[in-house]
Chains A and B, each alone.
Chain A
Amino acid sequence: KNEVEQSPQNLTAQEGEFITINCSYSVGISALHWLQQHPGGGIVSLFMLSSGKKKHGRLIATINIQEKHSSLHITASHPRDSAVYICAVGPPWGSSNTGKLIFGQGTTLQVKP
C-alpha cells in the first residue's frame, strides 16, 4: 500500500459540477502539496499547505492533520480543468529525508462541456 493514496483514480464530470479529489497519507508530514499536470505534460504546483484551508480562484484545498487527509475541490468546473491532479507529502522538518516528496498515484480528471 502506498504511503499516499488518492481517490478517485479517474473522474469524469460535466462542466459546472463541483469536484472533490481526496488524498490520504500514512506518514508524518511537514506539508502537503497539490500539483496539476496538464495533457501537455508540464507540472504546476497548485497549493502547499500544512494546516487549514487555502483558496485560489475556483480551487480550494483543505487538510486535516489529525485525520491525515486532504481534499482538493474545484467549483464550477470547466473543460480546461481537465488534467491529472497529484497529491504529494513532504517529510517532517529536520528528518533525514528533508525535501523528499512522496507522491500519490494521481487522479485523472476529465470535464466534459
Chain B
Amino acid sequence: DTAVSQTPKYLVTQMGNDKSIKCEQNLGHDTMYWYKQDSKKFLKIMFSYNNKELIINETVPNRFSPKSPDKAHLNLHINSLELGDSAVYFCASSLLAGGPTYEQYFGPGTRLTVT
C-alpha cells in the first residue's frame, strides 16, 4: 500500500486555468504538508495542516488554496494558473507537527506544467 499518494502525477494545463492536486496518506498521521520544488530542485514549504487545522501558511499567492476535508487528505487548488507555477508539488505527512518524532513521508510528487 502506498503511504502517501498524490494525483495526478503529471498535469499539463494552460495559463488561466484552475486545477487541483489531491493527496492522501494512510499512515494515520496528524500533520500534512504541501511543498513546491522549483526547477533548481529547491524545496520550500507552502502549507501545513495539523488534524484539519492550518498551522503553516507561507507567503504563497492567494491563488493557492489548500483544503483538508479530514486528517488523511490535503488537497491543493490553484486558480488562474501562471507560467511561474510550473514546478513539482510534493505532499508529505508526519506523525506530529513538531517534536522528536516528525520524520516526514513524501508523496511521489505532481509535475505541473503551465503553458
**A: which residues have CB within 8 A of B?**
30-31, 33, 35, 37, 41-45, 48, 50, 84, 86, 88, 90-91, 93-95, 97-101, 103, 105-106, 108
Contact = CB atoms under 8 A, between A and B. Distances in A.
B55 A106 contact: no
A98 B98 contact: yes
Given A30-B98, A45-B103, A93-B99, A101 B45 contact: yes
Contacts of A33: 103-104
Given A33-B103, A90-B102, A43 B90 contact: yes
Given A31-B102, A84-B41, A90-B102, A99 B109 contact: no
B42 A103 contact: yes
Given A45-B103, A48-B102, A100-B48, 14 more contacts: A30-B98, A35-B106, A41-B109, A43-B92, A44-B106, A50-B100, A84-B41, A97-B56, A98-B97, A99-B98, A101-B104, A103-B42, A103-B43, A105-B42
Classify the secondary structure of B's interface with A. Answer: strand
Interface of B: 31, 33, 40-45, 48, 50, 55-56, 88, 90, 92, 94, 96-100, 102-106, 108-109, 111
Contacts of A37: 41
Contacts, number: 71
Contacts of B108: 41-42
Nearest to B31: A99
B102 A100 contact: no
Nearest to A40: B108
A27 B54 CA distance: 24
Contact of B98 (A44, A90, A106): A90
